[in-house]
């Protein structure tokens, strides 16, 4: 008899950042999700939002998602579409898919743990290692700190790095990217990320000048959902355009790809709704011959990249992995060696959080493993 979902429990977790991402971004907000099936098997996962919406995500899981999912088959890929159809009247993406990811990931963890395998091997391993690139949320860093960070990336062995741009004064961006290029040398790949800070004309001008530093891609140059703007920008500039961390469904990724707006897609596994839709987006990108590089969440992104055909860059934000932040209660499921990342043999997702990170105001603790 097929197991069904018996219970879903959540717990808020706050993880202080070692290096703040800005004056108002000093910690990460997580919602730990634990699912139990009718056979008593457990799955452990999380939802994630850096600063905004964690309470709403948890409420969505505790109420609307639990009310729909409990009693249904405990199988992630079977449940995802009907759950999304049930919820999307309240929004097709954002809080909806971020909350859905908590349950989807927990069900995948449960399935892999039942099989006695890590998620990479449960999905079907394609690679032993993947390439990692150095990244940082560093637009607010003084120039000397940015240069020091670039030097650390070189010392660590990274062959590709990414730096934030989008300063109010373009001259500041030019100075900073010139300094980084000098530190990393002419061979390493250099990517830049504007985090939606430019208008179309501003982006054309900035990219035109920054292109002198041999850029591998420009990430989120415009407002993330500006499809027409990205199509036009791609027509105007030669630097490849990357985006996707703020797109929420396979349907939106298909629109951007098919419109010719993007050269490389960057789905965030939590924001798109979990592993189930991520695999669909990866398949779409492969079919359309568009590159894919997962966004953030090193411990999760690396494991999935190793189960995809082809080579995919994995982002490693300095001092921002769950392990580096001291948030894990067990060894991390991946380890970075130079610019390569590999799995460590943990079963399931291999991501379990430390008890002291729980918010003391939590009204419900996750279920204990029997």
Length of the chain: 370
Instruction: Supply the pLDDT for residue 362.
Output: 41
**Given CA atoms 306, 21, 365, 4 in this order, what sign does their dihedral have?**
negative
The confidence score (pLDDT) of residue 22 equals 82
d(CA 124, CA 309): 10
Pairing of strands 5-16, 27-37: antiparallel
User: Could you give the CA distance from residue 83 to residue 231 in angstroms, rounded to a whole number?
Assistant: 32
Average pLDDT over residues 249-267: 96
pLDDT value at position 363? 40
pLDDT digits 0-9 by tens, 1-51: 799 999 999 999 999 999 888 888 889 999 999 999 999 999 999 999 888
Residue that has been written with the tokens 């971020």 in this structure: 98
Q: What pLDDT, on a 0 to 100 scale, did the predictor assign at position 356?
A: 56
Identify whether the C-beta of residue 346 lies closer than 8 Å to the C-beta of residue 162. no
- Which residue has 């905004």 as its token pair? 52
What residue spans of the chain are helical by DSSP H? 54-60, 66-69, 76-87, 95-115, 119-123, 143-156, 170-184, 200-210, 227-236, 250-258, 275-288, 298-305
Which residues face 243 on adjacent strands? 265
Q: Is beta strand 340-343 parallel, antiparallel or unpaired with respect to 130-135?
A: antiparallel
pLDDT band at 369 (very low <50, low <70, confident <90, very high): very low
Report the range of poorest mean pLDDT among 15-29, 80-94, 194-208, 319-333.
Answer: 15-29
Percentage, residues of the chain above pLDDT 70? 96
pLDDT, residue 1, reads: 74
Rounded to an integer, the average pLDDT of 225-251 is 96
DSSP state of 330: S
State the average pLDDT for the chain.
94
pLDDT at 368 over 70: no
pLDDT at 114: 97
> What stretch(es) of the chain map to CATH 3.20.20.120?
121-343
Helix (H) or strand (E) holding 244: none
pLDDT in tens, 41-75: 999 999 998 888 999 999 999 999 999 999 999 99
Torsion of CA 141, 270, 199, 179, to 10 degrees: 30
* DSSP secondary structure letters along 273-306: TSHHHHHHHHHHHHHHT-EE---S-HHHHHHHHT
Distances (CA, A) of 80 to 14, 21, 112, 275, 297: 27, 32, 17, 10, 21
Note the Cα 265 to chain centre separation in Å. Answer: 12
Six token digits for residue 120:
């990479």
Taking residues 173-197, report their average pLDDT.
98
Decide if domain 121-343 falls under CATH 3.30.420.40. no
Domain with CATH 3.30.390.10 in the chain: 5-117
* Crossing angle of the two packed helices 76-87 and 275-288, in degrees rounded to 10: 90
| R_g of the chain, CA atoms, integer Å | 20
Fold of 5-117: Enolase-like; domain 1 (3.30.390)
Mean pLDDT over 140-151 rounds to: 97
d(CA 192, CA 204): 14
Prediction pTM value: 0.94
Residue positions annotated with a catalytic role: 164, 295
Structure confidence by residue, pLDDT tens digits, 298-346: 999 999 999 999 999 999 999 999 999 999 999 999 999 999 999 999 9
C-alpha distances in Å from residue 342, one per residue of 13, 112, 114, 148, 309: 26, 18, 22, 27, 16
First to last CA, the chain: 21
Q: Provide the β-strand partners of residue 8.
A: 35
Percentage of residues in the chain having pLDDT higher than 90: 91
């Amino acid at each position: 008899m097929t197991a069904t979902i018996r219970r879903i429990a959540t717990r808020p977790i706050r993880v202080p950042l070692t290096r703040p991402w800005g004056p108002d971004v000093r910690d990460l907000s997580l919602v730990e999700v634990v699912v139990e099936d009718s056979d008593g098997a457990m799955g452990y996962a999380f939802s994630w939002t850096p600063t905004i919406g964690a309470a709403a995500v948890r409420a969505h899981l505790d109420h609307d998602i639990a009310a729909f999912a409990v009693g249904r088959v405990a199988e992630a890929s079977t449940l995802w579409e009907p759950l999304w159809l049930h919820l999307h009247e309240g929004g097709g993406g954002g809080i909806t898919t971020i909350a859905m990811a908590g349950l989807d990931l927990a069900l995948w963890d449960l399935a892999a743990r039942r099989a006695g395998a890590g998620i990479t091997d449960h999905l079907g391993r394609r690679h032993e290692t993947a390439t990692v690139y150095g990244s940082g949320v560093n637009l607010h860093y003084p120039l000397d700190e940015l240069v020091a960070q670039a030097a650390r990336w070189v010392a660590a062995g990274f062959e590709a790095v990414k730096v934030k741009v989008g300063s109010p004064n373009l001259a500041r961006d030019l100075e900073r990217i010139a300094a980084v290029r000098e530190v990393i040398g002419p061979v390493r790949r250099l990517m830049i990320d504007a985090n939606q800070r430019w208008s179309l004309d501003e982006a054309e001008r900035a990219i035109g000048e920054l292109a002198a530093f041999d850029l591998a891609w420009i990430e989120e140059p415009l407002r993330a959902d500006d499809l027409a703007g990205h199509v036009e920008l791609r027509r105007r500039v030669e630097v490849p355009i990357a985006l996707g961390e703020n797109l929420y469904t396979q349907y939106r990724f298909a629109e951007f790809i098919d419109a010719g707006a993007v050269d490389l897609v960057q789905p965030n596994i939590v924001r798109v709704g979990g592993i189930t839709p991520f695999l669909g987006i990866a398949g779409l990108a492969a079919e359309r011959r568009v590159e894919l590089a997962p966004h953030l969440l090193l411990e999760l992104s690396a494991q999935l990249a190793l189960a995809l055909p082809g080579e995919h860059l994995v982002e490693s934000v300095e001092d921002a992995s769950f392990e580096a932040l001291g948030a894990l209660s067990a060894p991390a499921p991946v380890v970075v060696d130079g610019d390569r990342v590999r799995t460590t043999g943990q079963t399931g997702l291999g991501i379990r959080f430390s008890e002291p990170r729980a918010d003391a105001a939590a009204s419900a603790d996750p279920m204990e493993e029997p």
